[in-house]
Every structure is written in structure tokens, then in C-alpha cells.
Amino acid sequence: MILRKCMAMLGVGLAQIDLILPKKTYKSGECIKGYFLIKGGIINQEIKRIECDMIMINHHTGKEKIIDSTNILTSRLIQAEQYDKVAFTFKLPNTLVISDEQLSYRFQTRLTFDEGVESKDLDIIKIV
């Protein structure tokens, strides 16, 4: 058990997060309703928070801009190999520019544990 805990603190066998979205294409101003799927790792872990940023990437300049963020503070225990869902609702701004080869959008999600280690997820969406 001690070996498993040490491995988890190094990032091996951590609980993982996955943002599940109903589709990949959206319109400006649309409301997205999905969920975070959390899969327990090799040991029980205390979840501290879930952070999700919507990021706009300009591929021409290489710059990234955070459009908006969602933070969920929690004291939730995820059991080893257990699955859990947390609701996700996000209202897209009405001012988003349409995605193309120069401009794209993504949700970047971080799951933080009481030990400070993080699990990350990335989901690309298209604005039409």
C-alpha cells in the first residue's frame, strides 16, 4: 500500500478526469451541458478542486487567451478504481469568432488532489 501511495504522489496511477461533451461543434452563445468523468486511480484520493478553462488559440501568432474559467471547490474522496460524475454547464460568450485554420478553441481541465498533484484533460471544440 505504501508503494502505491508513493507512486500516486509521483503521478503514477492517479485518478483521472475527462470532460465529456455532447458534441464537438457549437455556436456562439450556446449553452454546453456535459459532465466531468472522474476515474479513481490505484489508491483512494481526496479531490481538492476541478478547474476548467476555455482557451482561444491563435495559430498565426502562437498566442493563447483564456476566454472564461469554471472552478469547482470540493472535498470529495474518490475511491480506487471508482467512477464519479460531476455536472458541467458552460455558456459560450456571444462574441466568439468562428473557428478556422488560424483560430481554435479548447477546454483545458485540471483535477487537483490534496497532495497538490494534478490530472489534466484537453478537449477541442469548434465554433461555427
CA pair distance 124, 34, nearest whole angstrom = 14
- Domain assignments of the chain as residue spans, ordered by start: 2-127
Total-model pTM: 0.86
Question: Which fold is adopted by the domain 2-127?
Answer: Immunoglobulin-like (2.60.40)
Please name which of 68, 64, 42 lies closest in space to residue 54, comparing C-alpha atoms.
Answer: 68
Give pLDDT, residue 9: 52
Q: Is residue 85 within 8 Å of 35, Cβ to Cβ?
A: yes
Q: How many CB atoms neighbour CB 43 within 10 A? A: 19
**Dihedral (CA of 69, 93, 99, 103) sign:** negative
The CA angle 70-73-77, to the nearest 5 degrees, is 125
CA pair distance 30, 89, nearest whole angstrom = 11
Digitized pLDDT (tens) for each residue of the chain, 128 residues in all: 554 554 455 555 789 999 999 999 999 999 999 999 999 998 899 999 999 999 999 999 999 999 999 999 988 899 999 999 999 999 999 999 999 999 999 999 999 988 757 899 999 999 99
Which amino acid is present at 85?
K
Give pLDDT, residue 75: 86
